[in-house]
């Protein structure tokens, strides 16, 4: 039922609230509601910092997040995340990270990493202490390696 016409001749209706039925409530998906929570309520994903090829930096890297080195870095790396040394890159210094992937060259010790991967092009000159070690054919290492033990001297499971 048209109550009035607008300036263009269209009927304008107002709903009759007495006869309108309320819309049924939609089912609530709890998992969808959790995933739509604000990002501040969820832990942030670790970001990756990149030292690109052609750069040479001297200093110290510390913090959380992942680090990818494609250039040359001289100094210690201590991150709560992953360290990736790309093919053609060189790092001179001690390393402490959750996972260390070596495709380039590392001159220094790796201390207490959960996992170390020596890729086919990887070179490690230094001692290694890790939970697990993966060595690809063609990689090279000079130093002492301890792996498969936890920090208390027991076998890792």
Percent of the chain with pLDDT over 90: 59
Task: Decide the pairing of beta strands 82-85 and 110-118.
Answer: unpaired
CB atoms within 10 A of CB 119: 19
* Residue 33 banded pLDDT, cuts 50, 70, 90: very low
The whole-angstrom distance between residue 97's C-alpha and the CA centroid of its chain comes to: 12
Q: Which residue has the higher pLDDT, 107 or 6?
A: 107
Q: Look up residue 79 and give its two tokens.
A: 């991150």
Phi, psi of 35 (to 5 degrees): -70, -20
pLDDT beyond 90 at 13: no
For residue 114, which of 85, 88, 79 has the smallest C-alpha distance?
Answer: 79
Structure tokens that stand for 129 in this block = 């202490």
The segment with the largest mean pLDDT, out of 21-25, 35-39, 77-81, is: 77-81
pLDDT at 22: 52
Q: Report pLDDT digits (tens) over 43-88.
A: 456 688 889 999 999 999 999 999 999 999 999 999 999 999 999 9
Model pLDDT, residue 39: 43
Residue that is written with structure tokens 């027991």 in the block = 154
Question: How far is CA 136 from its chain centroid?
Answer: 23
**pLDDT, tens digit (0-9, with 9 covering 90-100), for 100-135:** 999 999 999 999 789 999 999 999 999 999 999 999
**Res. 6: pLDDT tops 70:** no
pLDDT at 69: 96
Angle value at C-alpha 125, between 105 and 103, nearest 5 degrees: 25
What does the CA dihedral 96, 98, 103, 106 come to, rounded to 10 degrees? 10
Does residue 138 come out as left (phi exceeding 0), alpha (psi in the -120 to 50 range) or beta? left
Q: How far apart are the first and last CA of the chain?
A: 76
Q: What is the mean predicted confidence (pLDDT) over 15-40?
A: 48
């Amino acid at each position: 039922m048209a109550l009035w016409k607008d300036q263009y001749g269209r009927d304008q209706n107002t709903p009759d609230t007495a006869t309108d039925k309320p819309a049924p409530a939609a089912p609530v998906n709890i998992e969808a509601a959790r995933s739509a929570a604000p990002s501040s309520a969820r832990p942030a994903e670790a970001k990756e910092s990149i030292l690109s090829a052609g750069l040479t930096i001297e200093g110290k890297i510390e913090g959380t997040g992942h680090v990818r080195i494609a250039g040359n870095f001289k100094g210690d790396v201590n991150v709560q995340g992953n360290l990736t040394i790309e093919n053609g890159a060189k790092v001179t210094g001690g390393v402490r990270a959750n996972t260390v992937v070596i495709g380039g060259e590392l001159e220094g010790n790796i201390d207490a990493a959960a996992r170390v991967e020596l890729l086919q092009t990887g070179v490690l000159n230094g001692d290694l202490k890790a939970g697990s070690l993966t060595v690809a054919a063609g990689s090279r290492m000079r130093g002492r390696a301890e792996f498969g033990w936890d920090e208390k001297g027991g076998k890792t499971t």
